[in-house]
Amino acid sequence: VLADCHSFAQAFLPKMMEMDHGHIVTIAGSMGLFATACMDYCASKFAAAGFHEALSHQLKAKQINGVKTTLVCPYLLDALPSPLKPDDCVKTAMKGILNNQPIICIPRIMYFAVVLKHLLPWDVPVLVHKFLGIDKCMHPFIRQREAKRHLIYNETKNLSL
């Protein structure tokens, strides 16, 4: 993820800065704002969000005001009681991008979670994650990935016999 962000920035950013025009959109997912189980997945999202934040600060420091940045952070599409629809996420993201919104959290309740994370002591968000089940939201993904690894391992093992 980070290599892709960096490669993109190296390819397009110099011309955008020269023209003082453009818009860079980073899609990190909400796991780029607060983490839960599945550290490799969350770490990649944090990397994208961190890269985006550093890029935004760099543009501001160089007084490049015509190159806009937007960080899009949708929650897991199928992890909520009423799952987010991809089309709704796209519409919300596009509306925010077109309005030069610096960060877009989908659903909107995620803004509240981000603010609380930064205002409250470390243990409080951990307890909230546990209470809301967020601490287990990645478990289906982890199980699916482990099952796939197990299947590949067994296929490889059978080939070597």
Q: Which of 41, 75, 111, 153 is catalytic?
A: 41
> Is 41 known to be catalytic?
yes
| CB 117, CB 34: distance < 8 Å | yes
**DSSP-derived pairing of the beta strands 103-106 and 22-27:** unpaired
Q: What are phi and psi of 86, to 5 degrees?
A: -55, -40
Strand stretches in 86-149, DSSP E = 103-106
| CB 110, CB 72: distance < 8 Å | no
The upper half-sphere exposure of residue 24, i.e. CA atoms within 13 Å in the direction of its Cβ, equals 31
Q: What is the DSSP letter of 36?
A: -
Known catalytic residues? Answer: 41
